[in-house]
C-alpha cells in the first residue's frame, strides 16, 4: 500500500484496522486486551479507530507479541563509516534550521 497517496485520516483508519486484525489473530477480545493491559475498553476502541496515545500503541504491541515490528515502522538510523570519519566522532544532535539557509529579503514578513 502506498501511504504517500492517501490522507492522514485514511492512514489512521488503516493502522487501526491493522491493530484490530492483529488482536483478532491473537484471539483477544477488546475487553480481554484492555484487562491484560489495565486499560479502559475505550482506549482499545480508540486504538482500533486510529486514535490512540503512543503509550497505548507500545503496550498493545508488547502484549500481542509484535513489539519487534517497530523496527519496520521506523528503522534505526545508522551512520556510514565515511560519514562518521567526516564528523570526527561527533554525533549530530541538532538541525541547523534557518541559520543554515539564506533568508529571502524580498519577503513581506
Q: pLDDT tens digits, the chain, 109 residues: what are they?
A: 688 889 999 999 999 999 999 999 999 999 999 999 999 999 999 999 999 999 999 999 999 999 999 888 888 878 777 777 777 766 667 777 776 565 555 545 5
Domain count of the fold of the chain:
1
The answer to whether residue 95 sits within a structural domain is: no
Query: For residue 63, what are the domain limits?
Result: 3-73
What CATH number did the domain enclosing 37 receive?
Answer: 1.10.260.40
Name residues whose C-beta falls within 8 Å of residue 69's C-beta, 6 or more positions apart in sequence.
61
The answer to whether residue 23 sits within a structural domain is: yes
Q: For the whole model, what pTM was predicted? A: 0.70
The answer to whether residue 85 sits within a structural domain is: no
Cell readout for 15 is 493502522
The answer to whether residue 44 sits within a structural domain is: yes
The answer to whether residue 102 sits within a structural domain is: no
The answer to whether residue 34 sits within a structural domain is: yes
Amino acid at each position: 500500500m502506498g501511504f504517500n497517496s492517501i490522507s492522514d485520516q485514511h492512514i489512521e483508519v488503516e493502522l487501526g484496522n491493522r491493530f484490530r486484525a492483529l488482536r483478532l489473530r491473537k484471539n483477544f477480545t477488546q475487553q480481554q486486551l484492555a484487562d491484560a493491559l489495565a486499560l479502559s475498553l475505550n482506549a482499545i476502541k480508540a486504538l482500533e479507530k486510529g486514535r490512540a496515545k503512543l503509550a497505548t500503541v507500545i503496550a498493545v504491541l508488547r502484549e500481542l507479541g509484535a513489539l519487534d515490528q517497530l523496527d519496520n515502522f521506523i528503522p534505526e538510523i545508522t551512520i556510514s563509516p565515511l560519514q562518521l570519519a567526516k564528523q570526527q566522532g561527533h554525533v549530530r544532535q541538532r538541525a541547523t534550521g534557518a541559520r543554515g539557509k539564506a533568508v529571502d529579503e524580498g519577503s513581506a514578513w
